[in-house]
Amino acid sequence: GADAQAGFQLHQPQKEVSVIAGETLTLICTVTEGGPPGPVKWLKGWGSGSETIYDQKDPSTWGVRAMNGSNTNFTILIKDVRPKDAGTYYCVKFRKVPTGDELYRRGDGTVVLVQARPSNPILTRPKYRVQPGKKASFTCKTWGFFPSDINVKWFKDKTLIQSQLRKVTPGPSKFTYNMSSTVTVTLQKDDIRSELTCQVRHTTLTAPLTRSYHLSQILRVPPKVVLEPPGPVGLNETVSFTCDVQGFYPGNVTVTWLENGKEMNTGSTSQPTKTPEGLFNLRSTVAVEAIPEKNGSVFACRVVHEGQDPLSSSATLLVAASGQKESNSPYTNGSSLFIYVAVGVVCTVLALLVVAILYLIRVKQSKGKSSPSARLHEPEKSSGTTTQKKTFWYLAQDSDPNNMTYADLNFTKEKKNVQRVIEVSQQSEYACIQGSQAPASNDNLTYADLDMVHLSKAPRRPAPCPEETTSEYASVQIQRQ
C-alpha cells in the first residue's frame, strides 16, 4: 500500500474558466487509484475563509458529481452559476487520521470568472407629454452585468444621436455593475411616427439588446381652432357656424359651443379623422336661427385638448334685412372694395398733382423776383437842370398794352428815406418811390426794385405831362407768372 500511496496523483487541469451567469460551470478533477483512505472535496477559496462546494461524504453540498460512482473522476457541475460564484476553486484529497481528516493532496486551483449578461434595458421618459419645440429627456437602464465594460448607443429612426451622460456603478453584489444612459431630444411635430431606440452591447452578448420607444407616447400637438364668420344673414333664416379643429395629437378633444359666454346644449361634433402625418382633424357645427334678439351675438367654439387650457375662436352673428343681405353679398362687397380702392388711388393722385402745381408756382415766383427778362426802358434825358428829378417807369407785361405797371421815381435832396407805395389798378400797376437826390453827375443811375407781390390796387394815374421836361421814363418787360 505504501508504494501505491507514493504513486498517487491528483490532476486539476483548468487554470481559468469563464462562464456566463445562468449557465452550468464544469470543474475537472481526476485522481489515480491506490490513494489512502479519505474523501475528495472541492473548496472555494483557501484558508479559514474557504467554502466546501462538494464533499464525497456529504451529498447535501450543492456541487454535483459529473460521474457518480467513479473513484478516479471527481469532476463536478455547478448549475445556474451566479456572479457571486466567481473565485478560485481547489480539488483536495484528504486522508483519515485519528483526529479526523487531514490534507493529503491539493490541486493547483481553477480561477472561475462569471460573466454576467446585462439585463434587458428599460426606458424611462418624462411624466407628462411635451409639445413640439420642447426638449424631453429619456434614460436607458440595465444592470447585473460583468465585467463593467459596456457600450450604449441611441438611435432616432435609425439615425445615431449623441447621448449626454453614461454612468456605470457597482451593483448590489461584488461582481456586478449597473448602467444608465440619458439622452435629450427636441421634439418636432412630425415625430408622431418617430421611434427612439437604446442599444446595449456587452461581451456576454452575441447580439445587442435594444429597447425602443414611440415618441407619439410623449408628444402632444395642440390643435388649431378655426371658426369662419358666416356673414350677414336674412331675418329668421337658419345659419350654421362651423368650427374646424385641425392638426392635433392625441385624438381626444372636447368641443363646447358658447353664446355670449354661456354654454349651449346644441351642436354636432364629428369623430376625429387621422391625417397621413398621423395627426387628427375634427369638425363641429351648430345651427342658429337669425332672429332679431340674436343680432350681434357672439358664438364661440371652445376646445379642450389633453386637459390643457382651453383654445377658442369666435364669430359674430349679423342679422340683416333681405335688401341689406343682397347688398352685402360677396360680389357686392367685392365691388365696394374695388370702388374704395379706386377712390383712394384717385385722391392720392390729385393730392400729388396739387403739391406739384404749388411747387412749380413757388419756383416761378422765386425766379420772377430776380428775372433778368425785366427790362427798364429809359428815354433820353432832356437838357437842363433842376432841383428835383422825377422818373416814371412803366412795366410792360404780356402783350396787352393796356396792362402796364408804372413806377414814379422821385429823388430829392433830403435825408435818405425810402418809402415804397405801390398802387395798382385792375389792368395797370403803378409804383411811386421817393428818395434823396443822387450824387451830382451828368449820368445818374437809377435802380428800381419792383416786387410784384407787394403792389396794391389803385386807380390808374394819368400819364406824365409833356412839360415835365426833367422826367425820365423807362419800360420794364415782365413775364406774367
Neighbouring residues of 404: CB distance < 8 A, sequence distance ≥ 6: 394, 395, 396, 397, 427, 428, 429
Calpha distance 265→258 (Å, rounded)? 9
For residue 380, the model assigns a pLDDT of 43
Helix (H, G, I), strand (E, B) or coil at 403: coil
Query: Cell 423776383 sits at which residue?
Result: 369
Residue 450 has phi, psi (to 5 degrees) of -100, 110
For residue 397, the model assigns a pLDDT of 44
For residue 280, the model assigns a pLDDT of 96
Beta-sheet strand order (sheet of 159-161): 159-161, 151-156, 195-201, 209-214
Contact 411, 387 (CB under 8 A): no
Helix (H) or strand (E) segment spanning residue 184: strand 177-186
For residue 416, the model assigns a pLDDT of 42
For residue 382, the model assigns a pLDDT of 41
Apex CA 196: angle with CA 192 and CA 198, to 5°?
A: 170
Q: What is the fold, at CATH topology level, of the domain defined by 2-114?
A: Immunoglobulin-like (2.60.40)
Q: What is the DSSP letter of 116?
A: B
Cis amide linkage into residue 250, ω under 30° from 0: yes
Q: What is the fold, at CATH topology level, of the domain defined by 122-217?
A: Immunoglobulin-like (2.60.40)
Neighbouring residues of 230: CB distance < 8 A, sequence distance ≥ 6: 239, 240, 241, 315, 317
Calpha distance 384→467 (Å, rounded)? 13
- Is this model's pTM higher than 0.75 or not? no
For residue 411, the model assigns a pLDDT of 45
Sign of CA dihedral 378, 380, 381, 382: negative
Q: What is the DSSP letter of 58?
A: B
CATH of 224-320, one of 2.60.40.10, 2.30.40.10, 2.40.50.140, 1.10.1240.10: 2.60.40.10
Contact 197, 210 (CB under 8 A): yes
Q: What is the pLDDT along the chain (481 residues), one digit of tens a residue?
A: 454 556 789 999 999 999 998 899 999 999 998 888 999 999 999 988 899 999 988 877 778 888 887 889 999 999 999 888 999 999 999 999 988 889 999 999 999 999 999 999 999 999 999 999 999 999 999 999 999 999 999 999 989 998 877 899 998 877 889 999 999 999 999 999 999 999 999 999 999 999 999 999 999 999 999 998 888 888 889 999 999 999 999 999 999 999 999 999 888 999 999 999 999 999 999 999 999 999 999 999 999 999 899 999 999 999 886 544 444 444 444 555 667 777 888 888 888 888 888 888 888 887 655 444 444 444 444 444 433 444 443 444 444 444 444 444 444 444 444 444 333 334 444 444 444 444 444 444 444 444 444 444 445 555 554 444 444 444 444 444 4
Calpha distance 320→474 (Å, rounded)? 79
For residue 309, the model assigns a pLDDT of 93
